[in-house]
């Protein structure tokens, strides 16, 4: 039994090493010769473990928008690959990311989103202030050398970029903003910071997180998957790929709904998990999606919609367009996940319109292969 387990884990390591070698080789190809990732990268538990270690626990992960917690005391919880986080706006108005685990006996402090003057643990009512300092611990008077003031919830790195909240579990991570300066330049024509969140929904898709993310980052599929809903207004034939950088990729389309001077619609993917859409269609809306693994073949997809203040009242159902697009994307993505389990599934060639996927491949290789001898 033990031998079997050892040999299974050796096999798994060999599989992951082969996938990494393939990834590195793919990332070295020019766009004209580019291919998809190997099917195994979407179905390997070992590969996901590596992604969690080198991407999700070390990279800047978008957890939401600051306007979702506008007032001191507003909070929401977020699970980042098993790390329970509590995002709170404290008494000073600062947004902080804290551990959502009680310092007593590890109960989860909060679930969902809400507003509180203090953070009270549901287990034995230890109470923390909005900066995570312990303020009350009932029936602890006989505990020797126990001083609540010595105890506070651990904090994680947090950065706010154009109104998006990013958290990094790695205390030594390099800052996020410098790698996005080129994208910020491209976004100058669009109000992003000012947009107010109108809706967000979470769904679980039966697909590897990369498969769902890749679908969202390219618009090659728009004419195929959304022929009646999106393509008439944002046609695939108008896709223009702009040069990306190490931290993001970007492309534009032309909206048939907006006046010509304002018809440029922009889609950017901020690695590893955030895709944003901005444009002048539909009253200057902003949409975004995030992609988190729940397992090898299961992902949490969060979709948010925002609009400029004042435009909000004009929108009947702010999330309707996103819901419609998701309802069309999801079956195709889940079917591709089933397809790549086929014994004869191989890497496919990709179009120049899928340049974002090619750029993402290079990002993955840089994160996963650079410090290994593959």
The entry of ligand FES, Fe ion, none that residue 329 binds, CB within 5 to 8 Å by partner kind: Fe ion
| Smallest gap from residue 136 Cβ to ligand FES (A) | 10
Neighbouring C-beta atoms of residue 155, cutoff 10 Å: 13
Q: How far apart are CA 291 and CA 204, in angstroms?
A: 10
Residue 219 or 263: the one with the smaller Cβ distance to Fe ion is 219
Residue 102 or 350: the one with the smaller Cβ distance to ligand FES is 102
Among 104, 113, 179, 254, interactor with ligand FES by CB under 6 A: 104
Contact 138, 146 (CB under 8 A): no
Point out which span in 46-54, 69-77, 101-109, 359-367 binds ligand FES (CB under 6 A): 101-109
Point out which span in 20-28, 121-129, 152-160, 178-186 binds ligand FES (CB under 6 A): 121-129
How far from chain centre, in Å, is Cα 254?
26
Q: Give the angle subtended at the CA of 298 by the CAs of 17 and 76, to the nearest 5°.
A: 115
Contact 88, 129 (CB under 8 A): no
| Smallest gap from residue 226 Cβ to Fe ion (A) | 6
Point out which span in 123-131, 224-232, 268-276, 277-285 binds ligand FES (CB under 6 A): 123-131
| Smallest gap from residue 75 Cβ to ligand FES (A) | 16
| Smallest gap from residue 102 Cβ to ligand FES (A) | 3
DSSP, residue by residue, 183-251: HHHHGGGS--TT-EEEEEEEEEESS-HHHHHHHHH--TTHHHH-TTTTTTTS-GGG-EEEEEETTEEEE
Point out which span in 122-130, 232-240, 330-338, 350-358 binds ligand FES (CB under 6 A): 122-130
Residues 300-339, mask of contacts with Fe ion (x by CB under 5 A): -----------------------------x----------
Contacts of 110 by beta carbon, 8 Å cutoff, 6+ apart: 75, 77, 86, 100, 116, 119
| Smallest gap from residue 115 Cβ to Fe ion (A) | 35
Q: Which two structure tokens, joined as six digits, stand for 297?
A: 């073949």
Q: How far apart are CA 226 and CA 259, in angstroms?
A: 22
List contacts with Fe ion (CB under 5 A). Answer: 329
> Could you list the residues that contact ligand FES (CB under 6 A)?
102, 104-105, 107, 121, 123-124, 126
């Amino acid at each position: 039994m033990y031998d079997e387990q050892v040999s299974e884990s050796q096999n798994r390591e060999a599989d992951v090493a082969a996938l990494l070698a393939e990834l590195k080789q793919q990332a070295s190809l020019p766009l004209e010769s580019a291919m998809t990732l190997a099917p195994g990268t979407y179905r390997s538990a070992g590969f996901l473990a590596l992604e969690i270690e080198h991407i999700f626990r070390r990279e800047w992960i978008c957890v939401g928008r600051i306007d979702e917690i506008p007032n001191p005391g507003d909070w929401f919880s977020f699970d980042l690959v098993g790390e329970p986080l509590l995002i709170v706006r404290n008494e000073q108005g600062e947004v902080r990311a804290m551990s959502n685990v009680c310092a007593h006996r590890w109960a989860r402090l909060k679930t969902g989103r809400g507003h509180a003057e203090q953070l009270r643990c549901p287990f034995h009512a230890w109470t923390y202030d909005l900066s995570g300092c312990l303020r009350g611990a009932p029936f602890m008077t006989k505990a020797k050398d126990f001083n609540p003031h010595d105890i506070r919830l651990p904090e994680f790195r947090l950065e706010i970029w154009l109104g998006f909240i990013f958290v990094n579990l790695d205390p030594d991570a390099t800052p996020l903003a410098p790698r996005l300066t080129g994208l910020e330049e491209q976004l100058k024509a669009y109000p992003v910071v000012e947009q107010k969140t109108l809706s967000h929904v979470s769904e679980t898709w039966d697909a590897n997180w990369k498969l769902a993310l890749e679908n969202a980052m390219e618009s090659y599929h728009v004419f195929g998957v959304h022929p009646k809903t999106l393509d008439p207004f944002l046609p695939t034939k108008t896709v223009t790929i702009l040069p990306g950088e190490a931290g993001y990729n970007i492309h534009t389309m032309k909206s048939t709904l907006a006046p010509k001077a304002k018809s440029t619609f922009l889609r950017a993917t901020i690695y590893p998990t955030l895709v944003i859409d901005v444009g002048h269609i539909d009253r200057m809306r902003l949409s975004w999606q995030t992609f988190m693994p729940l397992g090898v073949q299961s992902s949490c997809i969060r979709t948010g919609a925002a609009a400029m203040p004042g435009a909000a009242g004009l929108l009947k159902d702010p999330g309707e367009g996103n819901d419609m697009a998701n309802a069309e994307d999801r079956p195709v993505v889940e079917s591709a996940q089933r397809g790549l389990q086929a014994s004869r599934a191989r890497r496919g060639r990709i179009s120049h319109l899928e340049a974002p996927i090619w750029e993402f491949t290079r990002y993955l290789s840089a994160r996963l292969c650079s410090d290994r001898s593959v």
